[in-house]
Structure 1
Amino acid sequence: MANTPQAKKRIRRNNRRAEVNGARVSRIRTFVKQVEAALAAGDKDQAKAAFQKVQPELARGVAKGVVHKNTAARKISRLSKRVAALG
């Protein structure tokens, strides 16, 4: 249990950060799912549009530190390969 005022503040801050970061990761997952849904439906135009939306979201996740740089690069690479294969 936290005893010092600093430790108590740190707990409050960590909880808030966890909430914000969780929302960021959830948002990224939602965008990735939209691309995957379009791919499953075989809709190339919708998949391209969704892919254009997911790229900046992943980049933002990297910049904010919630997603590792290589993880984002891997996801973008794999999704782009699948989108390109639709045509």
Structure 2
Amino acid sequence: MANSPQAKKRARQNETRFAINKSRRSRIRTAIRKVEEAIASGDKDAAAAALKAAQPELMRGVTKGVFHKNTASRKISRLAARVKAIG
């Protein structure tokens, strides 16, 4: 357990950041899931709209340090390819 005032403050900050990052990760996963559900249903317009909404969410996660840039880019690229492949 933290003893010094600095360590106590750091522990508080870590809890706060953890909660913020957790909610941000959850929002990103939800956005990705909506794209995948639209792809599974075969609705190209809905999938494209969901992808358009998910892209800024993913890149915001990169800016805020939740995901690495290449990870987000890879996810966006793969989702875009799957949306494009819908007949």
Q: Report the TM range for the smaller structure's normalisation.
A: over 0.9
For the pair 1:31 / 2:53, whether they are aligned, the reply is no
Counterpart CA distance in 2 for 1:46 and 1:3 is: 53
The one-character-per-residue Cα deviations of 1:3-61 (angstroms, maximum 9, x if unpaired) are 11111011000000000001000100000000000000000010000000000001100
Which consecutive residues of structure 1, in runs of 5 or more, have no partner in the other structure?
none
1:56 is matched with which residue? Answer: 56
Aligned pairs, how many?
87
Give 2:5's aligned residue. 5
What is the aligned-residue RMSD (CA, Å)?
0.6
Aligned-residue offset at 1:2: 0.8
Which residue of structure 2 aligns with residue 78 of structure 1? 78
Identify unmatched segments of 5+ residues in structure 2: none
Match of 2:14 in 1: 14
Rounded to whole Å, the distance in 1 between the matches of 2:38 and 2:14 is 36
Q: 2:34 & 2:10 partners in 1: Cα distance?
A: 36
Three-state SS of the structure 2 residue aligned to 1:50 is helix
Q: Distance in 2 between matches of 1:18 and 1:86?
A: 37
